[in-house]
Structure 1
Amino acid sequence: MKHKNETSTPPVSPYLITRTLMPENQETPLNFLLNDNTPPSYFYRRNHFPYPKLTKQSFFLPITGEVYKPRIFSFQQLLSFPSRTVKVLLECAGNKRQLFIPKVFGEQWGAGAMSQGDWKGVPLKDLLQYAGLKYTAKEIVFEGYDWGLMPGISTPLYYARSLPIEKALHPDTIIAYEFNGKPIPFKHGYPLRLIVPQWYAMASVKWIKRIKVIDHTFKGQFQTEDYVYYPNEDSDEGKKPVTIIHVNSMIQQPLNLSILNQGIHKIKGMAWSGYGEITRVDVSTDHGQSWTEATLNASSRSPYTWTNWTIDWQAETKGEFTIMSRATDSCGYVQPIASQWNRKGYGYHAIDKVNVKIQ
């Protein structure tokens, strides 16, 4: 039986939600998407700089530094190696930034700075084995082809990040060349993109230019200045790097500030965590005074993706209601009432809320 607010397909085609166009930063319309794999046209776009220009060098991947045999892999070579396909959620570290109180500077993302799908590529550990890591290797640095100027910095910067050896050698950390069965779209990293499951997406470097193995801690702008939690407004005390995705959830339907008729309504949404699978989602329709466990979609459960959930709500009384969702993961992490404020606005993961009116 269909519920009053349930349809099998969106009534209209949604659009990306624009935050900025130079550089391009746009959100996925998650409230209206029905499938686990985000279509490329709806995949969120996060950029610090203008899109890079591809050259012939873009189809070669050098690995240098603390290795015994520096290598340069061609795109065709990478296609010939044993591949791995992983379904992975990528979430911008600034997702839901607009919800922080007090407000913080940066792209004012709603909940749509995340998308997911099937990524196919070569496990990074295989490429590092070809090159042969020296015992002095400490971190792996990934530099992208995207570059530009940053406020307050006089020289141009390339986007670059590093991974610790342990994460780089995880079998599901891959150098991807396909998304949902086709070449990665240009705006999402073609021809080669790093995919790092369970970490916020700043780690999944697009348009990879080179990989360098180093024997020290990387100090790049996007490693030690940006993508760092600063819990204090006026000092750097207590700062720590942004890494694993917090347990989180969002309510897709009903939409915030909807007006609904009395009757049965399906509340649905998604939940996710970088620490493990979602094991429970609880929903409140009375502003948190009582909670009811939602039904999880078993087919969408995975440690690397969101889990879809639903619950039926018998709305018998007229008035205004606050619906809330609270996720729990397999490591026991539970969404908090409030997310820890930090001055760059990363990692927001407080209990989700929408307000509706029943008439």
Structure 2
Amino acid sequence: MIKGSVATAALALSQFPLRSFGLPEPEENEILIPFTDKLPATPNRPMIQWEQLTEWMTPEKDFFAVSHYGPAKVDAEKWNLEVSGLVKHPKTFSLAGIKARKRREITATLECSGNGSSPTFMGAVGNTKWAGTPLGPLLKECGFQKGAIEVAFFGTDEKKEKIKDNEYLQNFGRSLTIADALDDRILLAYEMNGKPLPPEHGFPLRLIVPGWYGVAWVKWLKRIEVLDHRFMGRFMARDYVTIRGEERPDCTIWRETSVTKMNVKSVVARVVRRSDGSLRISGAAWTDGTPLERVELKIDDGSWIETHTDKRNQSKYAWTFWHYDWQHPLSGEHTLVSRATDANGVIQPSADDPRIKLKKTYYEANQQYPRKFSI
């Protein structure tokens, strides 16, 4: 139960989400200016509708969900979590047992690693509050045997996969190094935005790996296995692999890397006309947890302009809203594009940057994305 000032703060956040995070509240009579390059709708699939982005927390109806073997149906009364492999004390936990452990909440942005790969797949990202128990203490209680190097996570969802010339029943699986698995930000989560996980988001338990792409956030979690060798399942070794080229004077070198941490990224979300005639251009930006240094905006062929961003550290793994007020907009057609830069100096690349131009798979599509509108 939330009491006193905490309840008041929670209510204020839900009622005035932009003002609560350092951004001015929308005007009552502001007019939305539609983009002329309107993104095609993806039928029957929840996604962020960028032109409607006014809430820091993503409504459940707009929160994307991806599954590779189809959503699993789990009976919470019969469900349990097995921790096995190279552990000194193998254990099994019921949902009640997981909920009885220390509780922690984290607000984190979840992005599909294919988000931005095409105009029809631009809204597979969302921000919400997750609640559960930290993974690290549970693993330490089980103890690691000598030689252990990785922790693999398996969901209840399953399918037969053809490997070489035979078919084998496989559960969806991903792994983390022991060092990553022990990071205190990682949760075994049973709540999403204050409610039990919806079935499509992994009920009754899912892994939360803030700063990593969604493929690492294993849903319908049923088994944790500690290994003394690298886990090489389909979604680590054969799928969710990015192929990039590096041009050298005499050749191009091609590398395959596993999809892991999110790349620095921003989007232009909406444009509104305000009562004084100015245009407010706003959007969102996110990183892998590295602090966001700045978000810049380019209007047509102009120079990059630094926008206003919320500088308070509300949650290092959550997205940041940004805006720029164009005081004297010119009539006609215009192109907007944003770019984010993190504290390490990593700049969101343009579409013709070699990091994007020489990327031959659709994963990790964090290129700048221009939007067009007319006034």
- TM-score class, shorter-chain normalisation, is 0.7 to 0.9
Q: 2:256 pairs with 229, 236, 239, which one?
A: 239
Which residue does 1:274 correspond to in 2?
A: 288
Tell me the distance in 1 between the aligned counterparts of 2:76 and 2:277. Answer: 60
Q: 2:126 pairs with 101, 115, 119, which one?
A: 115
Give the drift of 1:186.
1.1
Does the aligned pair in 1 maintain the 2:109–2:319 contact within 8 Å?
A: yes
Which residue does 2:90 correspond to in 1?
A: 70
Does the aligned pair in 1 maintain the 2:31–2:274 contact within 8 Å?
A: no
AA paired with 1:33? L
Unaligned 5+ segments in structure 1 are 8-15, 100-107
Which residue does 1:133 correspond to in 2?
A: 144
Give the drift of 1:357.
1.5
TM-score, normalised with respect to structure 1? 0.84
Which residue does 1:291 correspond to in 2?
A: 304
Which residue does 1:11 correspond to in 2?
A: none
Which residue does 2:364 correspond to in 1?
A: 347
TM-score, normalised with respect to structure 2? 0.81
Which residue does 1:94 correspond to in 2?
A: 114
1:53/1:317 Cα in 2 relative to 1: closer, same or farther (>3 Å)? closer
Unaligned 5+ segments in structure 2 are 1-25, 33-39, 246-251
Does the aligned pair in 1 maintain the 2:69–2:159 contact within 8 Å?
A: yes
Secondary structure of the 1:267 match is: strand
Which residue does 2:71 correspond to in 1?
A: 51
AA paired with 2:42? T
Secondary structure of the 1:162 match is: strand
Q: 1:327 pairs with 332, 340, 349, which one?
A: 340
Secondary structure of the 2:98 match is: helix
AA paired with 2:365? Y
Does the aligned pair in 2 maintain the 1:17–1:27 contact within 8 Å?
A: no
Which residue does 2:11 correspond to in 1?
A: none
Give the drift of 1:142.
0.5
Which residue does 1:197 correspond to in 2?
A: 210
AA paired with 1:172? R
Give the drift of 1:286.
2.0
Q: Which aligned pairs between 1:171-190 and structure 2 lie closer than 5 A?
A: 171-190=184-203
Does the aligned pair in 1 maintain the 2:152–2:226 contact within 8 Å?
A: yes
Q: Which aligned pairs between 1:141-156 and structure 2 lie closer than 5 A?
A: 141-149=152-160, 154-156=167-169
Corresponding residue pairs, total: 331
Does the aligned pair in 2 maintain the 1:250–1:270 contact within 8 Å?
A: yes
Give the drift of 1:5.
4.2
| Identical-pair percentage | 34
Tell me the distance in 1 between the aligned counterparts of 2:175 and 2:112. Answer: 17
1:151/1:325 Cα in 2 relative to 1: closer, same or farther (>3 Å)? farther
Instruction: Note the alpha carbon deviations across 1:16-43, whole angstroms, 9 max, x for none.
Output: 9535x6xxx5422243132222222221
Tell me the distance in 1 between the aligned counterparts of 2:347 and 2:234. Answer: 32
Tell me the distance in 2 between the aligned counterparts of 1:187 and 1:238. Answer: 34
| Aligned-residue RMSD, C-alpha | 2.8
Does the aligned pair in 2 maintain the 1:249–1:272 contact within 8 Å?
A: yes
Which is worse superposed, 269-278 or 339-348? 339-348
- The question of 1:84 aligning with 2:104 is answered yes
Does the aligned pair in 2 maintain the 1:93–1:200 contact within 8 Å?
A: yes
* Runs of 4 or more consecutive aligned structure 1 residues displaced over 6 Å after TM superposition: 259-262
Which is worse superposed, 172-181 or 261-270? 261-270
Q: 1:317 pairs with 320, 327, 330, which one?
A: 330
Does the aligned pair in 2 maintain the 1:120–1:176 contact within 8 Å?
A: yes
Structure number with higher relative contact order (C-alpha < 8 Å, ≥ 6 residues apart): 2
Secondary structure of the 1:324 match is: strand
Q: Which aligned pairs between 1:28-39 and structure 2 lie closer than 5 A?
A: 28-39=48-59
Which residue does 1:230 correspond to in 2?
A: 243
